[in-house]
């Protein structure tokens, strides 16, 4: 296994949600979107599935949207994420800020993840910044470690329903080293 895949597996022992699968637009009040997706890393051995998820989003009102995800690594661990998105701008680009929080449970640790995100572009093609801030605790909720990653992404929404959402993410672990993630999602209105 390559160095990148090995280090990513260490970080993902609790399986953070590594993909976005949403544009900077906000759904109209009462309208929803549901989908499922997978995230992959490419190593010397080829593509490896690192995460699967089921996600849903719902418009809450002018400029507000809420979402939820069930995610994890098949057979090892899983998590639940909730997030709120606020649309900052609609012209000349759509721009939204999103904050997510998740809890991930494994056999020996609990992880608490925070996901600040800035998304910009259009409904069809979008890009942005995403951070992952993680704290790991034992069963007594004593902190065992804190870590963080920062990344950039680009995504596309293809079709007229159901929608195919391919994404590419690049997470910076440090100045010299990064992790490339590919995501592919399918969404329904």
* Contacts with 140 (C-beta within 8 Å, 6 or more apart), sequence order: none
pLDDT higher at 77 or 80: 80
pLDDT at 105 over 70: yes
Residue 79, judged by CB atoms within 10 A of its CB (0-12, 13-18, 19+), counts as buried
Summarize the confidence of residues 108-131 as an average pLDDT. 92
Q: How far apart are CA 95 and CA 114, in angstroms?
A: 20
pLDDT digits (tens, 9 = 90+) for 29-53: 999 999 999 998 877 777 888 888 9
- 6-10, 18-22, 29-33, 57-61: which range is least confident on average? 6-10
| CA dihedral sign, ordered 142, 113, 74, 55 | positive
pLDDT of residue 7: 42
pLDDT at 118 over 60: yes
CATH match of 3-188 with 2.40.128: yes
Classify residue 13 by its DSSP letter.
G
Q: How far apart are CA 176 and CA 129, in angstroms?
A: 18
CB 28 within 8 A of CB 123: no
CB 143 within 8 A of CB 136: yes
The pTM score is 0.83
Q: How far apart are CA 170 and CA 42, in angstroms?
A: 12
* Contacts with 6 (C-beta within 8 Å, 6 or more apart), sequence order: none
């Amino acid at each position: 296994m390559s160095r990148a895949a090995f280090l990513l597996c260490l970080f993902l022992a609790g399986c953070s949600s590594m993909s976005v699968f949403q544009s900077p637009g906000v759904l109209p009040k009462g309208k929803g979107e549901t989908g499922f997706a997978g995230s992959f890393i490419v190593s010397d051995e080829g593509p490896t599935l690192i995460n699967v998820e089921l996600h849903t989003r719902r418009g809450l009102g002018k400029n507000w949207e809420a979402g939820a995800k069930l995610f994890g690594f098949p057979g090892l661990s899983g998590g639940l994420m909730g997030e709120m998105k606020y649309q900052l701008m609609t012209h000349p680009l759509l721009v939204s800020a999103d904050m997510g929080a998740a809890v991930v449970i494994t056999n020996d640790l609990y992880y608490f993840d925070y996901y600040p995100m800035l998304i910009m572009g259009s409904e069809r093609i979008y890009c942005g910044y995403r951070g992952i801030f993680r704290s790991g605790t034992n069963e007594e909720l004593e902190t065992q470690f804190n870590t963080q990653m920062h990344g950039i992404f680009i995504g596309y929404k293809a079709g007229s329903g159901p929608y195919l959402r391919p994404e590419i993410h690049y997470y910076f672990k440090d100045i010299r080293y990064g992790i490339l993630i590919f995501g592919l999602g399918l969404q329904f209105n």
